């Protein structure tokens, strides 16, 4: 009787009607929206936007280009505690629900009904994957229904691990970091397995709102959310109370870490980037293109250091041209106007810690630096927008008394420059004239001036950006592979690649090719005698009287002596004997372009305008036994999932091969 009464109860029938109506609504929605849904199977072959990366021949990174910084990882590469942190933050029932969380959706519906606006979407991780990969981000009921239907399909096709892998590689976590591996590098400069529990929880809090919970831009809100996630992990049994207690006490250690090359070779990286864009267009920046160059990771730093040290030594011998910028305080207003919002956010987030660090550094110095409390924050803003040039670091003088100078660096440390690192700064007058040795540090620079400093084994010394420029290139003589290349003192200061673009008169280093022409074309030997005596020539309708350095003449001279002593008159007479046309024909065989060589006897003195790379190619022929090689720098190109797009197979010189 009671059962019959319940069956006849209006409430029972009302509830049954609502359930049937809901079921019919779900079936109807499925029938209506299913034909227009994206194919979930495409997620199994999805390709994430991954930046262009360029490496040395032994796998060291030299360049990365692209708007989205991403390092794809597999599920097995994610630490278990990191997965737990994501579940605690986003979807604790992920491994048990069928793709949707009915309670979460009901809660979102109640919030909508009570507030009149969407407060939360009740989205599971599966639903977020559906939205991020297959749908738009519009907050509409139609998109939500499509999202639910796709999530149910995904759970039938993909495993939970595959869905989680898609999730962690796609999510945006602020500051150009897409995916958790890229975020670990961006905020902590660590790999996933190096992160602490507190750092994992901090990153797990970012997907909800990358800007609001960002440890750099909003450290207090980020700390609150991190600790809430840690509490959730403890409540869910993911971590022990002791681990929780230690993690919530951990300070915020996040900082902005830019993608740093393992080997400094920006000129070669730009050459490879340009090559990739010519080959793939804009997709070079998104299609996981990886270029392996011929660069040697041990030789490149040596070449770069040799070039920068040589230019600094040359520049130092010519004197001090003055501070880079004076009266820093007056320039701060203009600098503030030019600072973009992103820069402001970074400065605001780090100012308290940086200011305190600078104060502590000043207190540790022998004498308290007057005014640093007042000026250091503004000075750090100037240093933050001032690039370093090679080994030259930007610094602002905070004290200059006696024969010692103290300077503030961009990392808020204060360094001391002793007199041994200052006394070279005699005033530059001209290329051949310097002023006297300064009497004190104050004569060189005063407090508030922007200067350059160089770190050496025995401390810091004063420096300046050299006026002169240079380039260096090293080739494998047997294959022509570029092993090292530096196109200037600093890529930050000048993007012009002098190694491959700058044409300068070769000078005396061109003479060996002229002498080689004599050996090859005219049957000469090293013992052949040429008269080292004055000569008067007609060149282009003008009278030309070439001379040796020092104006001395030695009469009959063997050409081997003329070569190692670089005697101009022997070189000119040798070219005259062989003949200009024959010599030009021979030089073309070595790889030089005829239209780039002067059609006159001045060729013997190196009047041809050539690039350093062209000269290196010519000398490679001398080194490898007479084989002409072509310089190259791209070894392999892979695209997507290790698909080889290009592989170099250059001819190799082999003087002793059959």
**DSSP conformational letter for 350:** H
d(CA 548, CA 245): 82
d(CA 234, CA 231): 5
Find where tokens 């929605």 sit: 29
d(CA 440, CA 502): 41
**DSSP conformational letter for 556:** E
- Is position 297 annotated as part of the catalytic site? no
Task: Using DSSP, state whether 271 is helix, strand or coil.
Answer: helix
Q: What residues contact residue 311 under an 8 Å CB cut-off, 6+ apart?
A: 466, 468, 469, 470, 489
Q: What residues contact residue 646 under an 8 Å CB cut-off, 6+ apart?
A: 279, 634, 636, 637
d(CA 202, CA 89): 10
Q: How many CB atoms lie within 10 A of CB 46?
A: 11
Q: How would you label 331-367 residue by residue, b for 16+ Cβ within 10 Å and e otherwise?
A: eeeeeeeeeeeeeebbbebbeeebbebbbebbeeeee
Cβ atoms 71, 190 nearer than 8 A: no
Task: Using DSSP, state whether 139 is helix, strand or coil.
Answer: coil
Q: Which of 64, 90, 155, 165 is catalytic?
A: 90
d(CA 101, CA 151): 11
Nearest to 193 by CA among 288, 74, 70, 88: 74
Q: Which of 508, 566, 609, 623 is catalytic?
A: 508
Q: Apex CA 274: angle with CA 270 and CA 279, to 5°? A: 145
d(CA 612, CA 592): 12
CA distances from 265 to 24, 313, 482, 489, 597 (A): 64, 22, 12, 12, 31
- Is position 508 annotated as part of the catalytic site? yes
Cβ atoms 462, 421 nearer than 8 A: yes
CA 509 to chain centre: 35
Nearest to 500 by CA among 303, 271, 277: 271
Q: What residues contact residue 146 under an 8 Å CB cut-off, 6+ apart?
A: 33, 36, 37, 135
Cβ atoms 396, 385 nearer than 8 A: no
Nearest to 424 by CA among 407, 403, 408: 403
The tokens describing 590, both together, are 């070595």
Residue 172 burial class via C-beta count within 10 angstroms: exposed 0-12, middle 13-18, buried 19 and up: middle
Cβ atoms 93, 100 nearer than 8 A: no
The tokens describing 275, both together, are 């090559």
d(CA 526, CA 515): 9
Cβ atoms 85, 202 nearer than 8 A: no
Give backbone dihedrals phi and psi of 625, rounded to 5 degrees, phi first.
Answer: 95, 15
Active-site amino acid positions: 90, 508
């Amino acid at each position: 009787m009671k059962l019959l009464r319940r069956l006849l109860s209006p409430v029972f029938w009302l509830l049954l009607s609502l359930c049937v109506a809901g079921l019919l609504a779900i079936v109807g929605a499925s029938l209506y929206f299913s034909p227009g849904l994206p194919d979930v199977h495409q997620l199994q072959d999805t390709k994430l936007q991954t930046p262009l990366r360029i490496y040395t021949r032994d796998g060291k990174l030299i360049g990365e280009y692209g708007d989205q910084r991403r390092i794809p990882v597999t599920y097995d590469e994610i630490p278990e505690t990191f997965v737990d942190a994501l579940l605690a933050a986003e979807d604790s029932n992920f491994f048990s629900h069928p793709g949707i969380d009915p309670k979460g959706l009901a809660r979102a519906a109640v919030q909508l009904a009570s507030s009149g606006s969407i407060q939360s979407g009740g989205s599971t991780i599966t639903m977020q994957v559906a939205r991020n990969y297959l749908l738009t981000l519009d907050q509409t009921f139609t998109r939500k229904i499509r999202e639910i239907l796709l999530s149910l399909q995904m759970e039938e096709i993909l495993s939970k691990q595959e869905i989680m892998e898609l999730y962690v590689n796609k999510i945006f976590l602020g500051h150009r970091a897409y995916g958790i591996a890229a975020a670990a590098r961006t905020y902590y400069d660590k790999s996933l397995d190096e992160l602490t529990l507190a750092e994992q929880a901090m990153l797990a809090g970012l997907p909800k709102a990358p800007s609001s919970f960002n440890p750099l831009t909003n450290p207090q809100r980020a700390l609150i959310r991190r600790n809430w996630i840690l509490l959730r992990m403890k409540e869910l049994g993911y971590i022990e109370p002791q681990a929780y207690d230690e993690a919530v006490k951990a300070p915020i250690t996040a900082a902005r870490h830019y993608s740093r090359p393992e080997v400094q070779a920006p000129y070669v990286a730009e050459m490879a980037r340009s090559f990739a864009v010519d080959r793939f267009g804009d997709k070079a920046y998104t299609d996981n293109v990886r270029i392996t160059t011929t660069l040697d990771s041990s030789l490149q730093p040596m070449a770069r250091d040799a070039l920068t040290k040589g230019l600094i030594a040359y520049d130092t011998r010519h004197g001090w041209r003055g501070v880079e910028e004076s009266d820093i305080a007056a320039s701060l207003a203009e600098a503030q106007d030019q600072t973009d919002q992103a820069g402001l956010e970074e400065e605001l987030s780090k100012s308290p810690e940086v200011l305190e660090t600078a104060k502590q550094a000043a207190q540790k110095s022998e004498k308290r630096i007057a005014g640093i409390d007042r000026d250091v924050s503004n000075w750090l803003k100037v240093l933050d927008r001032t690039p370093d040039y090679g080994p030259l670091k930007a610094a602002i003088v905070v004290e200059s008394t006696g024969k010692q100078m103290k300077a503030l660096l961009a990392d808020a440390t204060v360094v001391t420059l002793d007199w041994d690192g200052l006394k070279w700064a005699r005033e530059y007058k001209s290329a051949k004239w310097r002023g006297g040795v300064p009497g004190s540090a104050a004569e060189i620079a005063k407090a508030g001036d922007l200067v350059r400093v160089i770190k050496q084994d025995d401390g810091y010394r004063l420096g300046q950006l050299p006026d002169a420029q240079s380039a260096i290139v090293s080739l494998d003589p047997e294959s022509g592979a570029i092993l090292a290349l530096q196109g200037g003192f600093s890529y930050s200061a000048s993007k012009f690649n002098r190694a491959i673009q700058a044409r300068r008169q070769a000078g005396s280093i061109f003479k060996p090719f002229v002498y080689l022409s004599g050996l090859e074309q005219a049957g000469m030997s090293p013992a052949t005698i040429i008269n080292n005596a004055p000569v008067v020539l007609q060149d282009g309708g003008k009278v030309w009287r070439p001379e040796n350095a020092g104006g001395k003449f030695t009469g009959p001279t063997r050409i081997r002596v003329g070569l190692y002593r670089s005697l101009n008159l022997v070189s000119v007479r040798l070219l005259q004997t062989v003949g200009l046309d024959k010599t030009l024909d021979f030089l073309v065989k070595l790889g030089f372009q005829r239209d780039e060589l002067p059609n006159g006897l001045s060729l013997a003195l190196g009047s041809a305008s050539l690039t350093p790379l062209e000269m290196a190619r010519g000398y490679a022929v001398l080194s490898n036994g007479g084989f002409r090689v072509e310089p190259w720098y791209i070894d392999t190109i892979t695209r997507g999932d290790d698909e080889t797009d290009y592989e170099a197979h250059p001819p190799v010189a082999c003087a002793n091969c059959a």
